[in-house]
Amino acid sequence: MRLEPRAHVPFWLNITAPLGAVVLAFAFCALLILWAGAPIIPAYTALVKGAFGSTFALTETLTRAAPLIFTGLAAAVAFRAKLWNIGGEGQLYAGALAATYFGTGLVTLPPYLMIPLLFLVGAVAGGLLLLVPVILKLKLRVDEVVTTLLLNFVVLLFANYLLFGPWKDPLAMGWPQAAPIIDEGVLSPLVPRMRLHQGFIWAIAFAVFAWAFIRFTKWGFQIRAVGYNPEAAAFAGMPIGATVLRTALLSGGLAGMAGVCELAGLKGYLTLDISPGFGYTGIAVAMLAGLHPLGVIASAIFIAAIYNGADAMSRAMSISNYLADVLTATALLLVLASVLFVRFRPRLR
């Protein structure tokens, strides 16, 4: 087999190629399910039902998708500018820390001001955290992959210190958790008796915002230009440093809001397990979406559905729920490979 470049990419291929890749991923994992000793069709039925089969399942999936949309956007925006922000997890915790600081009694405002305030302080904290490695990158050419990644642990350990020390809630029976967010700051549920909360709406709104920002503003144009070709962008007179800093604030801010979303919408108080790696999964979400902000919504829901569905499948079939990780990883690899077939035509001799 050989690959030849395509002169024109048919539009349908842009959609069918990734979908085909996802189907292939399911086919591959079917083998693993068989190996684990479960029948395929009932297993996948359990998965789909667990993800979308009831109001409860659907709202749970969307609840899980909300923080993934935020962290996915954070990665998508940064990667667009070729800023390799691997620190979404740390920025998420930074956002949650800031929201805890302001949201546990320091200020009390009516909900329509309190909630935006929490998102704002969370975004600022996440953005400022990313600013540190980015300034090091710009001034001293320190590789941001390493610094953003390692900052995750710094922030996590700092949160650890706070939760075991000064911020420990005396009413929490000794558990390492902070005081709860005041009622004015809590994101209200969208569906009665379900966990799905307003944070999902905020996530969708910010996806649309990020898309419009990148597409229609001068700064967004500069982010794209610098990402595609920094040399040409600099030659054309674009401010490279300022563009990268703006990208960092935006990306870190979005990741910080993921922390606020989880804290004020789901948990209610800060703990050390507020994120099961949403910051890292956000990278997969962004790649799966081809770094398109609106695509992030779909891919975040897809990944959330797989995780929720796989939990249900593992309970129903008594097989390991690690299959969710395998399934998303396979889907991601195959979708990335499918990009190759969009750009090149495979030919058999």
Smallest distance from the beta carbon of 323 to another protein, in angstroms?
37
Distance CA 234, CA 239 (A): 7
Among 21, 94, 225, 255, binds another protein (CB under 8 A): 225
- Tell me whether residue 97 or residue 226 sits nearer to another protein (CB atom): 226
Distance CA 25, CA 259 (A): 30
- Extract the tokens encoding 44: 């996948």
Smallest distance from the beta carbon of 208 to another protein, in angstroms?
15
Number of other residues whose CB lies within 10 A of the CB of residue 4: 9
Q: How many positions of this chain bind another protein (CB under 8 A)?
A: 26
Amino acid at 248: A
Among 166, 193, 216, 273, binds another protein (CB under 8 A): 216
Smallest distance from the beta carbon of 7 to another protein, in angstroms?
5
Binding mask 330-349 toward another protein (x if CB under 8 A, else -) reads: -----------------x-x
Position 141 contacts another protein (CB under 8 A): no
Smallest distance from the beta carbon of 249 to another protein, in angstroms?
15
Position 11 contacts another protein (CB under 8 A): no
Position 140 contacts another protein (CB under 8 A): no
- Tell me whether residue 231 or residue 273 sits nearer to another protein (CB atom): 231
The torsion angles phi and psi of 4, rounded to 5 degrees, stand at -120, 140
Name 345's bridge partners: 4
Among 113, 150, 236, 329, binds another protein (CB under 8 A): 236
Distances (CA, A) of 267 to 181, 196, 311: 9, 12, 20
Query: 288 Cβ partners below 8 Å, 6+ apart?
Result: 18, 295, 299, 302, 303, 331, 332, 335
Taking a C-beta distance cutoff of 8 angstroms, is the pair 90, 279 a contact? yes
- Tell me whether residue 201 or residue 212 sits nearer to another protein (CB atom): 212
Distance CA 252, CA 261 (A): 14
Position 234 contacts another protein (CB under 8 A): yes
* Chain mean position to CA 137: 23
Q: Which window, 38-46, 62-70, 124-132, 216-224, contacts another protein (CB under 8 A)?
A: 216-224
Rg of the chain taking only CA atoms, in angstroms: 21
* Chain mean position to CA 291: 12
Smallest distance from the beta carbon of 202 to another protein, in angstroms?
23
Position 235 contacts another protein (CB under 8 A): yes
Footprint (CB under 8 A) of another protein, residues 12-41: none
- Tell me whether residue 315 or residue 343 sits nearer to another protein (CB atom): 343
Q: Which window, 56-64, 104-112, 142-150, 233-241, contacts another protein (CB under 8 A)?
A: 233-241
Footprint (CB under 8 A) of another protein, residues 156-215: none
Q: Dihedral through CA 12, CA 14, CA 16, CA 18, nearest 10?
A: 180
Taking a C-beta distance cutoff of 8 angstroms, is the pair 270, 178 a contact? yes
Residues that bind another protein (CB under 8 A): 2, 4-8, 216-219, 221-222, 224-225, 228-229, 231-238, 347, 349
